[in-house]
A = this chain, B = another copy of it.
């Protein structure tokens, strides 16, 4: 009702088929086309790193099930969480195919991934796939820009409201929600490092949201109690441009 469920009638920053075209069929249960391209599957357990910042052996991966978080620790020891990677999304592509990774990728829950061929030669012969790759990167860029706009000039409760709705939205498009509840493996510290706040302030704000009956996070489950209030706080950032 608030979110549009596909990108056909307007601009939608994250639709299930936002990445490789074959991801769509993958998500729909038919993985024949996907298997034709994929090299092999990987299963990882919670808290396991897929790769770490600086690693050279980069691979292009698609997340099939689970939850992956992209983080980077800077020189001063502070940690930046860039984003969460949700099922059907791509991770691991960067400017230099075999350069060092900018950030680490860690699985927050038991996950299943799929390696995808990653070489200039391969994509040069597959124009549609290369174009899908460009589209995928454009989506990631837009998501990052949305977070940039969310953090810039905005207060803690607005930032948190945005983040909660953004992730809820993205999961909902994949049918991974249960009414207004989603699985949410992020710690308060992760939220803080995503939004540029301290863990303490995130805690206080979440506490206030709970008291006000707006939002609740309990036992790795996030429940939206008052969608309208959250949406107003988030500032309609889910619809870039006119509908």
Contact = CB atoms under 8 A, between A and B. Distances in A.
Contact of A135 (B76, B95, B125): B95
Copies held by the complex: 2
Interface stretch (A10-18, A26-34, A170-178, A215-223): A10-18
Q: Which among A120, A125, A126, A133 has the highest number of chain B CB atoms within 10 Å?
A: A133
A140 interface: yes
A74 B125 contact: no
A101 interface: yes
Chain A interface residue bracket vs B: 35 or more
A78 interface: yes
B235 A94 contact: no
A213 interface: no
Contacts of A144: 141, 144-145, 148
B142 A102 contact: yes
A196 B197 CA distance: 14
A243 to B, nearest CB: 9
Interface stretch (A105-113, A149-157, A203-211): A149-157
Contact of A101 (B18, B134, B241): B241
A149 B11 contact: no
Given A54-B242, A127-B127, A149-B80, A11 B138 contact: no
Interface of A: 7, 10-11, 13, 18, 53-54, 72, 74-76, 78, 80, 82, 93-96, 99-103, 120, 123-128, 130-131, 133-142, 144-145, 147-149, 151-154, 193-196, 235-237, 240-242
